[in-house]
């Protein structure tokens, strides 16, 4: 019974905090650049404004264009529901594992890319082709991280990995460090942050994710924007849950444990936002074709992590 309650709370938390996280990163970056920065509430206001606006849909687009925002949003929301944030005592936590999570994100990306090409504009196609190039490199790296962790913890379920780490199953593990580095690089690519993509750019020709959603407006755009915010929240939460799970309440923990889990989670999330803002401010966007090197590096790190596991076992 309480698992269902916490599950609902988890989804509400995702919806409530995702725009806030984006807002916090934007505000921190602005402050670091010496600007005043928009209010933390601005993403909420933007979504509210867009939701009330009538969407304008190109005559040349098909049903796919109108369906994609809902599909993307639901897929990412579902993925967000299975990542333990403050407790592992969730209904859906045993329903889907990390591989399913990669698949859900893949569905969202697939729909976005199709929608980008649907209206037939040059930028949509440009963005879709770039997104697919990035995805084809990011997904193997992400899966390799999953394998590395599941070999270590004996399970691909995030909740089990959390339990394993919290249960003192590992000490200082090289594989964990390599997997963390790889997942962070994948997360940067998947969420379209600098140096892979610039979420704040107005330059059509350099866009990746933004180019695909250029044709969207009104509530469709609101859903696409919300999907992007959720994705950032999801990857931040995933890194926290897999590598910094301390504070997460395990099943059987009382109400106090849940409360502690909530508080530590929000603090950790703010920490990630600071780290992201500092990183993004201190680096320029990389040349598009360097992305392959970057994600190739992520794949290599994750692969090394897996190999190290076998090596340490053999020794």
Partner 1 sequence: MITGKTTLLHYLSFSRPVAAHQPWPRFVLDEAAWRGLVAELAVEDWDVLGLWADGNEIHCALRDEETGEIAVASHSCTDRRFASLSQVRPGVLRLERAVADLYGLQAAGNPDGRPWLDHGRWGVTHPLALARRPPPPAPYAYSFLPVEGEGLHQIPVGPVHAGIIEPGHFRFHCAGETVVRLEERLGWVHRGLEGALIGKPVAQAAKLVGRVSGDSTVAYAIAFARAVEAASGAEAPARAHWLRALMAELERIANHIFDFGAICNDAAFALMLGECSVLREEILRICESCFGHRLMMDAVVPGGVACDLTAEGAALLQDMLARLRPRFEELVELYDNSPSLLDRTVGTGVCTPALARQFGATGFVGRASGRAVDARRLPGYPPYDQMELPVPVRQDGDVNARIWIRIEEIRASLDLIGRILSQMPPGPLHTPIPTRGGEGMALVEGFRGEILVWVRLSQVGRIVRCHPRDPSWFQWPLLEAAIEGNIVADFPLCNKSFNCSYAGVDL
**Closer residue to partner 1 in complex, CB, 66/285:** 285
Is 265:240 a contact under the CB 8 Å cutoff?
yes
Characterize 130-150 residue by residue with b for buried, 16 or more Cβ atoms within 10 angstroms of its Cβ, and e for exposed.
bbebbbebbbbbbbbbbbbbb
Q: Shortest gap between Cβ of 146 and partner 1 (angstroms)?
A: 29
Is 72:227 a contact under the CB 8 Å cutoff?
yes
Short-list 62, 61, 76, 80, CA closest to 14: 80
Q: Which two tokens stand for residue 59?
A: 């005559």
Among 11, 206, 217, 253, interactor with partner 1 by CB under 8 A: 206
**Closer residue to partner 1 in complex, CB, 34/254:** 34
DSSP at 39 = -
- Residue 231 interacts with partner 1 (CB under 8 A): yes or no: no
Residues in 146-205 that interact with partner 1 by CB under 8 A: 194-195, 198, 200-205
Short-list 191, 179, 293, 199, CA closest to 232: 191
Q: Which stretch binds partner 1 (CB under 8 A): 29-37, 64-72, 263-271, 297-305?
A: 29-37
Give the other-Cβ count within 10 Å of 48's Cβ. 12
- Residue 285 interacts with partner 1 (CB under 8 A): yes or no: yes
- Residue 66 interacts with partner 1 (CB under 8 A): yes or no: no
Among 45, 49, 53, 290, interactor with partner 1 by CB under 8 A: 290
- Residue 34 interacts with partner 1 (CB under 8 A): yes or no: yes
Residues in 109-138 that interact with partner 1 by CB under 8 A: 122-123, 126, 130
User: What H or E segment, with its residue span, contains residue 1?
Assistant: none
Q: Shortest gap between Cβ of 201 and partner 1 (angstroms)?
A: 7
**Closer residue to partner 1 in complex, CB, 127/261:** 127
Among 56, 286, 292, 311, interactor with partner 1 by CB under 8 A: 286
Question: SS3 for 249?
Answer: strand
DSSP at 248 = P
Q: Name the site residues for partner 1 (rule: CB under 8 A).
A: 29, 32-35, 122-123, 126, 130, 194-195, 198, 200-206, 214, 281-290
């Amino acid at each position: 019974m309480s698992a269902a309650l916490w599950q609902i709370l988890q989804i509400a938390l995702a919806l409530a905090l995702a725009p806030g996280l984006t807002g916090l990163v934007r505000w921190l970056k602005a402050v670091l650049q010496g600007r005043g920065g928009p209010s933390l509430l601005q993403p909420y206001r933007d979504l509210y404004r867009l939701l009330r606006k009538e969407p304008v849909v190109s005559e040349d687009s098909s049903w796919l264009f109108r369906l994609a925002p809902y599909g993307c949003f639901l897929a990412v929301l579902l993925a967000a529901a299975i990542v333990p944030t403050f407790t592992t005592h969730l209904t859906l936590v045993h329903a889907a594992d990390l591989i399913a999570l990669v698949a859900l994100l893949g569905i969202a990306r697939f729909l976005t890319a199709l929608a980008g090409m649907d209206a037939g504009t040059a930028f949509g196609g440009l963005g879709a082709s770039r997104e697919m190039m990035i995805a084809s490199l990011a997904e193997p790296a992400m899966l390799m991280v999953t394998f590395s962790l599941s070999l270590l913890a004996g399970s691909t379920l995030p909740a089990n990995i959390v339990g394993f780490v919290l249960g003192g199953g590992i000490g200082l593990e090289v594989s964990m460090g390599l997997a963390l580095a790889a997942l962070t690089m994948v997360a940067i690519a998947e969420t379209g942050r600098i140096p892979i993509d610039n979420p704040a750019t107005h330059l059509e020709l350099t866009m990746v994710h933004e180019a695909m959603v250029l044709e969207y407006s009104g509530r469709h755009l609101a859903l696409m924007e919300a999907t992007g915010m959720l994705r950032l929240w999801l990857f931040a939460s995933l890194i926290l849950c897999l590598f910094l799970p301390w504070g997460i309440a395990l099943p059987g923990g009382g109400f106090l444990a849940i409360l502690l889990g909530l508080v530590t989670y929000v603090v950790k999330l703010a920490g990630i936002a600071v780290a992201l803002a500092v990183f993004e401010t201190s680096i320029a966007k990389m040349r598009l074709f360097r992305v392959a090197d970057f994600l190739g590096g992520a794949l290599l790190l994750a692969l090394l992590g897996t190999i190290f596991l076998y090596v340490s076992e053999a020794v």
